[in-house]
A and B are shown apart, each in its own frame.
Chain A
C-alpha cells in the first residue's frame, strides 16, 4: 500500500481528487471507494476520484492493470465488490442517457448481419424506447454521426466489409449518436490506421470543445501528452491522477509500469517533445 498515501496527499492539493466526503457534487463521473473482484480476487481497489468536467482524460497502465474493468464497473457491466458511482451527482442507472460507451472492437461479432448505418442507429435504441420503431429521424442522426467520423460513404456496407480502423470509427459514431455528456472509450486507438487515429483525435477535440467529458483507455504512452489534458495512471490502484503536465512524469510511470524501461524511455521522449 505504498501509493495510497501519495494519492491522499494529492487529494489535499487538488480539489478534483478527493476522498470520502470531499467529492465534487456535479462531477461528470465520481467514483467512491470502488473495489472490483473477479471470483473474490480483487482486480482494482480503492478507486476514489472525480473526473473533472470538460476534460479529455487518458487512462494508462500495464496489461492487467484493470483499465477496462474500471470502465465496465462504472457502467454496471461487471459487479462492484464495493463502492459507489455517481454520474453528474446521481447514481448511474438514473443517468444512462448522459453516458455513452465505446467497447473494445473484439467484443462483438463483425459477421453479424447489419450494415454500418444500422449499427450506428443502435446507439439510439435507448432513446427510441420499447415498442417503437426506428424512424427516419433516427437514421438521419446516425448518418450525421457517420459523417463526423468520415464514414458517410460506407453507410450501406455490411460491417465485416470494413477495415479494422473503419469498424472502430463506426463504433465511435454509434457513441456520438447517443449525444451523451460523458463518453467512456475502451482502447479506441488499438490497431487502427493513421487516418482513423487522426479522425478519432479530431472527434475527441470536438467533443471537448462542445463541453463534453471523455475518458479513454489508452495504450500508447507516446501520444498521451498530445492527446489528453488529464491522465489516470492505473495499476490495480490509482498510482496518480491529475493534469498530464503534472502527473505524467517518469517517476509516476515507473511506479505504474515497474521495470519496463524501454517503454518509459519512449514516454520520456514524448514528454520532452510535448514540453518543447
Chain B
C-alpha cells in the first residue's frame, strides 16, 4: 500500500466530517429524529440556490447562512405540517423535504446556469479532490475543506458543550424542560440549524449519502454500547473517526483484492461504518445478539444441571442405585434431550463439586445434597400450592412445578411454605423435604 501526504489529508477531512456529523447525530437518534438528517440534507438545496442568487458568490460563509436559514425553516415547516395538518412527524418530514428539494432543483436549473451540479458529486462527494483545493493558513497551505470542516466541528462542539444540559433534558423529556423554563422547541431549532450547516459543509467532501450515514450510524452504534449520554457521545465520535480512517485505507486496499483499480473513499467509509455497526449489533455486551444467545445458553445449562441434581436426590431418596449410563438415560427421557447434553449436565455437577464419582455411578456431595434438597423442596411446595390453592389437577402440577422451581428464590420458597403450612407431602404423597 502506498501512502502519500494526500492520503493523510483525505483521512483528516474524512475524520472531521464524520465526527462533526456524529456529534449532532447523537441527539437526532435520541430524539427519534434520525430521518431529519436525511430531510435536511435534501432540503438545504433551495437555501444554497437562493444564497447564490442573492450574493452571486459560492463562498462558504454565504452557503452556510443559506443552509442554516433553510435548516431552521425545515424544522419549523415540519412542526407546522405536523401540528396543523394533523399528520405524523415522519410524513410531515417527507412532505417538507421533497417539496424544498424540488424547489431547489427548479431554482438551480432556471436561474443559476453558472452552478454546475453533478448528481454523482451530490451523492458521493469528491473527497479525493478536496486536498487540492488549498488555502493559506499562516505559513501553511491547508486544504480548504480542513479549514471549513474544522470550523464546523468546533462550532458543533462549542454549542453542544455550552447547551449540554439543555440538549440533554429537551431530548429526554421536552415537557419537563418546558415546565422548567427551558425552551425545548428552541433547542430543537438550534439543533436543526447546526445539522443544516454541518450537512452543507460535509456535502462537498463526502456527499449526501455519507452525511446521512455519519449522522446516524455512529450514534446508533454508541447507543447500543453505552448507558450514559457522555459516554455515548464519546463512543460515537471514536466510531466515526475509525470508520473514516479505515474507510480510506479500505478504498486503497480492497479494490486490489477484487481486481478493480479504484473505488470511492466516501463509499468505503459508509461501508466500513455499516460493517462496524453490524459487528456492534451482534457483539454489544448488553443489547447484542451474541450476548443474548450466551445468556440464554447459560440459563439452559443451569436448568439442566438443576434437573440432574434433582434426579440424583430423588434416586437417593428412593435408595435406588443406578449406573452412570442409566442416569444419563433417565435424564434424557425425562427432559427429551440428547445424550450428549445430559452427560454434560452431570459433568457440570461434578466440576462444580455438587456430585462425585462413586463406584459405577455418581453420588451427591454434601453441598450438592443441600442444594438438591432445596430444589426438590421448592418443586414439591409448588406442586402442593398449585394443587391446593389454584385447583390444578394432581397429574398436571409436575410440569409446571418443573419450570417454576428454577426461578424461585429462597424468600419466595419460604413464602410458599407459609401457604402450605400443613402440607408435609405433595399431591403425589411424597414428603416435602425440610428447609
Contact = CB atoms under 8 A, between A and B. Distances in A.
B318 interface: no
Nearest to A118: B228
A122 B173 contact: yes
A114 B229 contact: yes
A114 B182 contact: no
A39 interface: yes
B172 A112 contact: yes
A115 B230 CA distance: 12
From B32, B166, B177, B227, name the one whose CB has the most chain A CB atoms within 10 angstroms.
Answer: B227
Contacts of A122: 168-169, 172-173, 176
Contact of A128 (B162, B165, B172): B165
Given A108-B172, A109-B172, A112-B172, A96 B179 contact: yes
Contacts of A115: 227-228
Interface string A95-110: 0100111010001110
Nearest to A159: B227
Interface in B166-184: 166, 168-169, 171-173, 175-182
Contacts of B30: 109, 112-113
A158 B181 contact: no
Nearest to B83: A39
Contacts of B179: 75, 77, 96, 99-101
A113 B226 contact: yes
From B175, B229, B232, name the one whose CB has the most chain A CB atoms within 10 angstroms.
Answer: B175
A108 B173 contact: yes
From B166, B172, B177, name the one whose CB has the most chain A CB atoms within 10 angstroms.
Answer: B172
A107 B162 contact: no
Contacts of B110: none
Given A122-B173, A125-B169, A113 B182 contact: no
A113 B229 contact: yes
A229 interface: no
Interface majority SS (helix, strand, loop, mixed), chain B: helix
A261 interface: no
From A77, A100, A103, A113, name the one whose CB has the most chain B CB atoms within 10 angstroms.
Answer: A113
A48 B110 CA distance: 59
A76 interface: yes
B21 to A, nearest CB: 19
Contacts of B169: 122, 125
Interface residues of A, number: 33
B173 A103 contact: yes
Contacts of B181: 93, 96, 126
A268 to B, nearest CB: 30
Contact of A125 (B86, B171, B182, B223): B182
A134 interface: yes
A114 B176 contact: no
B226 A109 contact: no
Given A125-B180, A126-B181, A131-B162, A101 B228 contact: no
Interface string B216-237: 0000000100111101100000
B32 A77 contact: no
A251 B244 CA distance: 71
Interface in A122-167: 122-123, 125-126, 128, 130-131, 133-134, 158
A112 to B, nearest CB: 5
B196 to A, nearest CB: 23
Nearest to A76: B178
B166 A114 contact: no
From A99, A103, A126, name the one whose CB has the most chain B CB atoms within 10 angstroms.
Answer: A126
Interface in A44-83: 72, 75-77
Contacts of B228: 113-115, 118
A133 B164 CA distance: 9
A36 to B, nearest CB: 15
Interface string A178-202: 1000000000000000000000000
Nearest to B227: A158
From A72, A101, A128, name the one whose CB has the most chain B CB atoms within 10 angstroms.
Answer: A101
Interface in A165-221: 174, 178
Interface string A21-54: 0000000000000000001000000000000000
A182 to B, nearest CB: 11
B175 A125 contact: no
A189 B391 CA distance: 32
Contacts of A112: 30, 171-172
Contacts of B229: 113-114, 118
A185 B30 CA distance: 25
A111 B30 CA distance: 9
Given A113-B228, A114-B229, A131-B162, A103 B176 contact: yes
B218 to A, nearest CB: 14
A119 B168 CA distance: 10
A77 B178 contact: yes
Contacts of A101: 175-176, 179
Nearest to A119: B172
Nearest to B225: A113
B60 to A, nearest CB: 28
A96 B180 contact: yes
Interface string B81-101: 000001000000000000000
10 contacts: A96-B179, A107-B175, A109-B30, A112-B171, A113-B228, A122-B172, A122-B176, A125-B169, A125-B182, A126-B181
Given A112-B172, A125-B166, A134-B165, 6 more contacts: A101-B176, A103-B173, A125-B180, A130-B163, A131-B162, A174-B176
Interface of B: 30, 32, 86, 162-163, 165-166, 168-169, 171-173, 175-182, 223, 226-229, 231-232
Interface of A: 39, 72, 75-77, 93, 96, 99-101, 103, 107-109, 111-115, 118-119, 122-123, 125-126, 128, 130-131, 133-134, 158, 174, 178
Q: Which 7 A-B pairs have the closest CB atoms?
A: A126-B180, A158-B227, A101-B179, A113-B232, A96-B181, A108-B173, A113-B227
